[in-house]
Each structure stands twice: as C-alpha cells, then as structure tokens.
A and B are shown apart, each in its own frame.
Chain A
C-alpha cells in the first residue's frame, strides 16, 4: 500500500510556543490530506481537510487561526499548532487516500505542552 510519513513522532514544547508537524505522502501524490486529533482514551476526531494549493477546510469547533494548515505541494501538508497550551496536548495524525482506496495514516505525533 501507499506510505504516509509523519514527523516528528513526538514533541515537547513550552506553553506559548508553536509547533509544526509534517505529513508526507512518500510514493503517491495527495491533493487532499486530513488531520485528526486523538485525546487519551478517546476516538479520532477530524480537525480539517488539507487541500493542495488552496485553503484548508476546518471542522466545526476547530480554530483555524490556532491550527494552521499548509499544503504547498502534492506530497506535503503541515499542521502548525500556534501558541500551544497544555490543553492542546494530544495525538495528532494525518491521512491521505488514493481515490476510492483505503486511507493511509501517518505514524502520528504525540504533542506534549508543558
């Protein structure tokens, strides 16, 4: 299957700083990628749809100014958590699909804000 790589796998940052997470499709071009957030012992919740060359589409309740998404190429989407606070600590994971195929997930990023 296709490979989606996410980096970093874990990051610790101080409250008030920003953190960038990268999601790459290694062997296919992804015009659309998706970002999910998973709090401990909870399900995955879609945060936003990342569209190559255009603005991301955010789900209801997700602050677009806090979670900046950039999809500047067909193989890379980035999620930047700005002015991070402890409540932003979570597992962030991206996915992409090849048309009507299964979704391929990145490894996920464990963000801890201290």
Chain B
C-alpha cells in the first residue's frame, strides 16, 4: 500500500518568513495530493491540493509543487502569520476515491510574532 513520509515534524519560523514542508510517497499510481491544516480537536481543513498532471499550484500565500519522477511534493507558505500556526498534513490518494487518504505524519508549524 501507499506510504507517505513527511518532514520536518516541527517547524518554527518568524512572522513574515517562508515555511516549507516536504512529503514523499511510495505508490507511483497515486494521483491526488492534498494538504490539510488541522487545529486541535478539529477536522482537517483542505488548504490546497494538486493532481498528478500538474507540477505546481498556487493560491495566494500557499503553493504546492509536485515531482512525479522523484515522488515528492512540497507545501510552501510565504509571508507567514501567527494564525498559520497549526499542524499540517500531506496526503496521497490513488485511484478515483479521493476520500481514501494516506496521511503523512504531520508537521507542527509555529509562527512567532
């Protein structure tokens, strides 16, 4: 089955700096890669996603890049703000059922004012 590795496990940045979180996946058949932000006790919130036929996607301060050959994808947050502090998860999906997700281990992002 799919295995997703996520790094780093914790990331501390100063407000205004950029943050980068990286994930690798094992199953070359995976074709959908979402990123989630989760606050304590809450459901995961989709912040950006990318499909396997796209190499990069950007939404305001957030961008995701995908390298299918190397089987890795990354989340980039620019101009970080304290409210970006949360746990971030990457995930991978194979096939057409996008509800069946394999999650990375998570990254605790702390943005210091």
Contact = CB atoms under 8 A, between A and B. Distances in A.
Nearest to A95: B99
Nearest to B49: A102
B96 A99 contact: yes
* Residue from B89, B96, B99, B103 having most chain A Cβ neighbours under 10 A: B99
Interface stretch (A13-21, A44-52, A67-75, A81-89): A44-52
A93 interface: yes
A105 B44 CA distance: 7
Interface residues of A, number: 26
Contacts of B57: none
A27 interface: no
A93 B43 contact: yes
Contacts of A101: 98
Interface in B16-57: 32, 34, 41-44, 46, 49
A97 B43 contact: no
Interface string A34-66: 101000001111100100000000000000000
Contacts of A46: 100-102
A62 B105 CA distance: 19
Interface of A: 32-34, 36, 42-46, 49, 91, 93, 95-97, 99-108, 110
